[in-house]
Amino acid sequence: MSVKEAEVLEHGTSLAHPAHEEILGEQFETLEQQNNAYLIGMWAFIVQEVLFLGAIFAAYGIYRLKYLHEFTLAHKELDWVVGGVNTLVLLASSYTMARAVRAAMQNKHGRQILFLGFTLFFASIFMFNKYVEYSRKYEHHLIPGWGYDAHAIVEHGEKKTILEPTPEGNYRVKLETEKVVTPEEFKQRTQLFMGFYFILTGLHGLHVLVGMIAIGVLIIRAYIDYKKRKPVADYMPVEMVGLYWHFVDIVWIFIYPLLYLIGR
Amino acid sequence: MATQTVAHGEQQRVNYLNWKTTVASWLFTYDHKRIGILYLVSISLFFLLGGLAAAMIRLELATPKGDLLTSDVYNKMFTIHGVLMIFFFLIPSIPAVFGNFVLPMMIGARDVAFPRLNLLSWYFFMVGAVLATIALVRGGIDTGWTFYTPYSSSFAKGEVSLAIVGVFLAGFSSIFTGINFLVTIHKMRAPGMTWFRLPLFVWAMYATSLIQVLGTPVVAITLLLVAIERSLRIGIFDPNLGGDPILYQHLFWFYSHPAVYIMILPGMGVISEVISAFSKKRVFGYHFVAFSSLAIAIIGFLVWGHHMFSTGQSIYASILFSFLTFLVAIPSAIKTFNWMATIWKGRVHWEAPMVYALGFMGLFVIGGLTGLYLAAMATNVHLTDTYFIVAHFHYVMVGGAIMAYLAALHFWWPKMTGRMYPQSWAKLSALLVFVGFNLTFFPQFILGYMGMPRRYHSYPEEWAALNLLSSAGASVLGVGYLLPVIYLVWSLKYGRVVTERNPWGARGLEWELVDTPPDPHNFERTPIVTRPAYDYGHPEEPTGIIPKPRPVVVGGKDG
Amino acid sequence: MEEHTAHHAEGHEHHVVPIHVYTWTLIALLILLIATVGAGFIPMPVWLGTVVALAIAAIKTYLVMANFMHVKFSGKLVWLFAAAGFCWLVIMIIFAYADYITRPWEPVPGF
């Protein structure tokens, strides 16, 4: 038994460092334990989120197999340029977020506020683009359940000669293989695609919004710490929001090719 | 009685019940023990409501004619029964009540890792439960607890969306509890509490939490998709709109089959504790029991397709799912055999919790083995949607999970309340539950084998006798469940006061180092664990010790 | 490496990653973004396009997780959690697709 073990056996684990007392929750023994607990907790939450959103991806994949022709036509309605810009913006925001976490770990409040501000700025660009995209879908009557009709998709398909009407009034869709669908089926299945688009991007957008609020709170916190010139600030909230933010970024990394790009 | 002996000091000791007594101190508490009690009170209420619905069902089925309830009301009745019992009683039962109450004590922690999240999870649960209850009582829903599409989408009358929101919120309550326990078990163990010194209840709770975190989000999003489909008329699951109802079943059972293990695994953990405590022996094959919990949790995710053998699922997928389903029997059997080996040559004490635990073993074995009939594809086709299924899962969930819940309640009741209930009444009620349960559900195996389908309010005359027997058994079962409510509440005021820490002579930090009722912070100081769990072979050695306070060095630097 | 803050004495070690790790990660991510857009426009069979897109997305995810989310610099437990989420999603997808993909092989439709 080492001296340290003997000491622990006699008197228990070491008490918290005095400087950590005000940020240490009373259920924890040390700041290390607290930080590790929050880190693992956040990861468990992210695991939960992976399955929450992953289930929609799984469902989307199955319908993509089933209704490949209709989905391929419908996905050409999405603007890959705006989607690409949004990917760019989110990747950049992930970078600034990582820098903000770094600054927080080093207790540099000013730099932390700066990078959090950048992240918030990029996030607002993302949300603005989303707004532009959504309103265009509204103009083309492509919002499911809100006077949805597939005319825009049919017209664009005809223009690109992927889709042509048959004498019976059905649509023939020509990709690697051909498929004939009735207009009613075509409408339902393209609407299903648009449904997945709105559910996925909508839930993702909701996550972005929550992240933006959290970042706003962090900026205020960091400003207070800055004013007080706190020697040891709790960097864990920034780290956790950072993890969340990167996760939201990863979701978009999958949404972009799967919805906007494949078979362009 | 010790009531007037103030000098004795024992009555004045601050504990988690009396240190604050306002209503607000309960509703805004971060104390894991109080949150456990909040859950106990709230799920008891939903158990009562669900039980009333069950009583109506058995009353209707006492006679072959559908005379008491119309088929429509009958559908709503079994939906109320299923939704309340599954989402608002069984899933939170042992994890949220006893997981909260004893898990931190068992590992030597002051509290769970995230006390605020813990309280939030109770609020999510309550809001979800109230919304679902409103939906079930107003208008009602007739889809069954599974919310199968297209019953729940294009053909549903009533308040499906509201009920879905309720279940969604309860699902997140369950996820929060799971995250909390995962982190608590990983990071809050006292010094010396290594993984293989953990009580088996903690192992079972770890496996349960894994399922809660990995499975629940899938059902949450699936139900959300149903609600979206209903409001926007997109054909996600509705075949009329181009959707695929089988996909709903895949996503639903991805969670809901593992959810069966959310109900039974913590129960198995409780049985390990109780059997060992009343046989005064270490659990036989500790490592096997511990890893069998994890094995059940993991294999449990690979078997969901056995709910879908007769839905048009590909036979090749069915063969795979059938094979994997048989595998789950192995870890379950390991547990059962090890419990029996624990009792063998032990000094068995016939206290009430032990009687409940033995009842669990009898009923769970029948429930588990009939599951194998259903895992085989050929018999499954004959038995699907008959009373055989109903009997099978009631043997596992009611005979298994609720028996274990009652065993846990009787085991930790003195620790929770500082009062002892009358043993003879408790044993009588355990006996009534066991006999009543078998009378109710064993005939249903026979009925199901004869082909009686579930979910109908009337049936041919030939099945009248067995159904009457089942309904009669249900009333015995009802008495068996009401008795504990009466004598446990009675014991709060008139029961023998328990002041000793360890009324059962059990091993474990919560018995050896925690006062009865517990201190708000459980332990005076964080304990140091020196022995493995269930070390009945060394009665003189405590499982853990409370270290002496650190000497204060005046003027010195604390580091 | 820049200066570390005080209070490292009791072993609570947080890893401050050099800036260039982040910068190179960002650059790699942007290159992969261009690659994924480019792959979308190259005519190829649908299954191949999907595989390519998913592969690029997986690499990007790895980069974000390893460097931005510090998985590379964290303990085994974080690895385990990150892997568990991924594995379970794969389980769900493989087993559900096992049904859909094998249905055409049945001797009679709706066997």
Mean pLDDT of C8-18: 57
Sequence-separated (6 or more) residues with CB below 8 Å from residue C5: A105, A106, A107, A232
pLDDT at B407: 97
C2 band by pLDDT with thresholds 50, 70 and 90:
very low
- Chain A positions in Cβ-Cβ contact with residue C6 (cut-off 8 Å): 231-232
Interface test with C, best of B213, B255, B311, B316 (most C CBs within 10 A): B316
Q: Are A87 and C33 in contact (CB under 8 A)?
A: yes
Tens-digit pLDDT profile for residues B254-266: 999 999 999 999 9
B7 band by pLDDT with thresholds 50, 70 and 90:
very low
Taking an 8 Å cut-off on Cβ atoms, the answer to whether B314 and C110 are in contact is no
Residue B507 tokens, joined: 């091993």
pLDDT for A7 beyond 60: no
Q: Are B44 and B65 in contact (CB under 8 A)?
A: no
pLDDT at C9: 35
Of C32, C20, C55, nearest in space to A91 by CA: C32
Q: Are B498 and B514 in contact (CB under 8 A)?
A: no
**CA gap C60, A250 in Å, rounded:** 8
Neighbours of B252 (CB within 10 A): 24
Query: What DSSP assignment string belongs to B143-162?
Result: STTTT-TTTTTTS--S-HHH
Interface test with A, best of B234, B246, B249, B550 (most A CBs within 10 A): B234
Q: Are B463 and B450 in contact (CB under 8 A)?
A: yes
**CA gap A54, A129 in Å, rounded:** 24
By the 10 Å C-beta count (0-12 exposed, 13-18 middle, 19+ buried), B507 is classed as buried
DSSP code of residue B307:
G
How many alpha carbons fall within 13 Å on the CB side of residue A190?
A: 29
Interface test with B, best of A8, A17, A28, A48 (most B CBs within 10 A): A48
pLDDT at A31: 87
Q: Are B33 and B41 in contact (CB under 8 A)?
A: no
Distance from CA of B38 to the nearest CA of C (A): 31
**Closest-CA residue of chain C to B559:** C10
Q: Is B444 left (phi over 0), alpha (psi -120 to 50) or beta?
A: alpha
Residue C106 tokens, joined: 């049945």
Mean pLDDT of B429-448: 97
Q: Are B219 and B171 in contact (CB under 8 A)?
A: yes
pLDDT at A63: 94
pLDDT for A161 beyond 90: no
Tens-digit pLDDT profile for residues B212-225: 999 999 999 999 99
Determine the residue type at C33: L
pLDDT for B556 beyond 50: no
Round to the nearest angstrom and report the end-to-end CA distance of chain B: 48
Tens-digit pLDDT profile for residues B69-96: 999 999 999 999 999 999 999 999 999 9
Neighbours of B552 (CB within 10 A): 7
Tens-digit pLDDT profile for residues B349-380: 999 999 999 999 999 999 999 999 999 999 99
Of A170, A148, A25, C91, nearest in space to B111 by CA: A25
pLDDT at B156: 73
**Closest-CA residue of chain A to C97:** A62
Of A187, A172, A198, nearest in space to A78 by CA: A198
Query: What DSSP assignment string belongs to B208-254?
Result: HHHHHHHHHHHHHHHHHHHHHHHHH---SS-GGGT--HHHHHHHHHH
**CA gap B179, A43 in Å, rounded:** 9
Query: What DSSP assignment string belongs to A178-231?
Result: EEEE-HHHHHHHHHHHHHHHHHHHHHHHHHHHHHHHHHHHHHHHHHHHHHHT-S
**CA gap A60, A64 in Å, rounded:** 6
**A167: cis peptide before it, omega within 30°?**
no
Q: Is the complex ipTM higher than 0.95? A: no
Mean pLDDT of B400-420: 96
Distance from CA of C69 to the nearest CA of A (A): 6
**CA gap B242, A192 in Å, rounded:** 8
**CA gap B118, B540 in Å, rounded:** 37
Taking an 8 Å cut-off on Cβ atoms, the answer to whether B315 and C106 are in contact is yes
Among the residue ranges B50-59, B165-174, B550-559, C65-74, the one predicted with the least confidence is B550-559
B1 band by pLDDT with thresholds 50, 70 and 90:
very low
Tens-digit pLDDT profile for residues B19-51: 888 999 999 999 999 999 999 999 999 999 999
* pLDDT, chain B, mean: 92
Taking an 8 Å cut-off on Cβ atoms, the answer to whether A55 and B218 are in contact is yes
pLDDT for B192 beyond 90: yes
CA distances from residue A34 to A82, B67, B103, B113, B401 in whole angstroms, order as listed: 42, 61, 18, 8, 34
Determine the residue type at B254: F
Tens-digit pLDDT profile for residues C17-63: 899 999 999 999 999 999 999 998 888 888 899 999 999 999 999 99
Tens-digit pLDDT profile for residues A8-46: 555 555 444 555 667 888 889 888 899 999 999 999 999
pLDDT at B3: 41
Q: Which of residues 194-223 of A touch B (CB under 8 A)?
A: 195, 199
B11 band by pLDDT with thresholds 50, 70 and 90:
low
Q: Are B139 and B170 in contact (CB under 8 A)?
A: no
Tens-digit pLDDT profile for residues A118-149: 999 999 999 999 999 999 999 998 988 878 88
Q: Are A185 and A73 in contact (CB under 8 A)?
A: no
State the count of interchain CB pairs (< 8 A) between A and C.
157
State the DSSP H helix or E strand holding residue A172, giving kind and residue range, or none if neither.
strand A171-174
Interface of B with C (CB under 8 A): 186, 210, 214, 218, 246-247, 250-251, 254, 301-302, 304-305, 308, 312-317, 320-321, 559
Rg (CA), chain B: 24
pLDDT at B554: 57
**CA gap A132, A120 in Å, rounded:** 18
Of B85, B79, B16, B83, nearest in space to B44 by CA: B85
- Chain B positions in Cβ-Cβ contact with residue A10 (cut-off 8 Å): 547-548
**CA gap B514, B517 in Å, rounded:** 8
Sequence-separated (6 or more) residues with CB below 8 Å from residue A34: A24, A25, A28, A236
pLDDT at B540: 87
Q: Are A148 and A194 in contact (CB under 8 A)?
A: yes
Please give the share of chain B, as a percent, with pLDDT higher than 70: 96
A227 band by pLDDT with thresholds 50, 70 and 90:
confident
**CA gap B165, B129 in Å, rounded:** 10
pLDDT for B157 beyond 80: no
Tens-digit pLDDT profile for residues B299-333: 999 999 999 999 889 999 999 999 999 999 999 99
A180 band by pLDDT with thresholds 50, 70 and 90:
very high
Mean pLDDT of B531-535: 93
- Of B553 and B121, the structure prediction assigns the larger pLDDT to B121
Distance from CA of C110 to the nearest CA of A (A): 16
Mean pLDDT of A203-214: 97
CA distances from residue A80 to A75, A89, A163 in whole angstroms, order as listed: 10, 14, 21
* Angle formed by the axes of helices A183-228 and B200-232, nearest 10°: 130
pLDDT for B249 beyond 80: yes
Sequence-separated (6 or more) residues with CB below 8 Å from residue B374: B306, B380, B383, B388, B389, B392
Taking an 8 Å cut-off on Cβ atoms, the answer to whether B234 and A44 are in contact is no
pLDDT at A160: 86
